[in-house]
Structure 1
């Protein structure tokens, strides 16, 4: 039987979790964690800072959000999720779910990862289903229904799926949101 690990990380949370094979419908089967690989997760956030250089060209930099950071509507935040396999064994079929925080809109096509074998998918229904390119049905003025790409404000979750995370390695994923 294949093992699947599903992990959800809250905004600006730092979490460490043990690999638990047999996650089924949100319920975990108790296992002996001493013999299982361990995954450490860290989520960081940065605010986009736009400045003009000496030639008047706009330069983008990122400022870490720490303590009582101030953000306002329109600000773009970049989240970086680091997952480290601290064990001596690979973690197979790893799934990391990340909700888009309330009051924020996902910046389309901003998600990427350092792992070439990973797959990034998105949910527009609160995390119940995921697709690489979510779509919505739109009723046109003439009454016909058309399928269109989902708008950025419909995205609710990002999912990173890795077939395997080797022992003693790190995977990194980033994505951006904009404050409404």
Structure 2
């Protein structure tokens, strides 16, 4: 069984302006020679908007298009959609997504739209290795070294491994949130 590994990249340009950041978002297309255009990736972003309605706080998601203005503290939700453009099932699809610069991953926010689930793992080393819970070695005051879970500020990538087949002409989604620094 051949594994298909794809990476969607958010083309983000950050330009600080009075504590605000402009994010330029574009569609990301998979360019993997193993799939030869069989799988197309699309990256969509939304910003969480909190409003007061009749004295109650409500939350909704606003799509970000083109150059969008975000501020430190804003929560963004990214959705990577992998479309199977073939007439046959694709097995063992793996989608990697970098955490955009200027943001921090929101712990436990990564999900998938697949009922059978996808194995979600994370990288803290620029996408070279992945683990369900990345760990780091920490030197204690007494000189001992312990292994502890890495802080989310170290997360660099999210990975979805779709073990079940992606049906012909079907699609899967990987979703995660980040907080703007």
TM over 0.5: yes
In 2, the alpha carbon distance for the partners of 1:133 and 1:140 equals 21
Following superposition, the deviation at residue 20 of structure 1 comes to 4.5
Identify the residue that residue 114 of structure 1 maps to in structure 2.
Answer: 113
CA RMSD of aligned residues (A): 1.8
Q: Secondary structure at the match of 1:70?
A: strand
Identify the residue that residue 156 of structure 1 maps to in structure 2.
Answer: 156
In 2, the alpha carbon distance for the partners of 1:110 and 1:99 equals 14
In 2, the alpha carbon distance for the partners of 1:117 and 1:72 equals 33
Query: Which range is displaced more, 65-74 or 120-129?
Result: 65-74
Following superposition, the deviation at residue 110 of structure 1 comes to 0.3
Moved beyond 3 Å, runs of 4+: 15-21
Pairing 1:52-67 to 2, within 5 Å after superposition? 52-54=52-54, 56-67=55-66
In 2, the alpha carbon distance for the partners of 1:51 and 1:70 equals 17
Q: Is residue 165 of structure 1 aligned with residue 166 of structure 2? A: yes
Structure 1 unaligned blocks of 5 or more: 22-30
TM-score, normalised relative to structure 1 = 0.84
Structure 2 unaligned blocks of 5 or more: 11-24
TM-score, normalised relative to structure 2 = 0.84
Q: Is residue 46 of structure 1 aligned with residue 59 of structure 2? A: no
In 1, the alpha carbon distance for the partners of 2:70 and 2:132 equals 30
Following superposition, the deviation at residue 85 of structure 1 comes to 0.9
In 1, the alpha carbon distance for the partners of 2:117 and 2:110 equals 15
For 1:47-75, what per-residue CA distance to the aligned partner results, in whole angstroms no more than 9, with x for missing partners? 11111231x33211111111221111111
Q: Secondary structure at the match of 2:177?
A: strand
| Corresponding pairs, count | 165
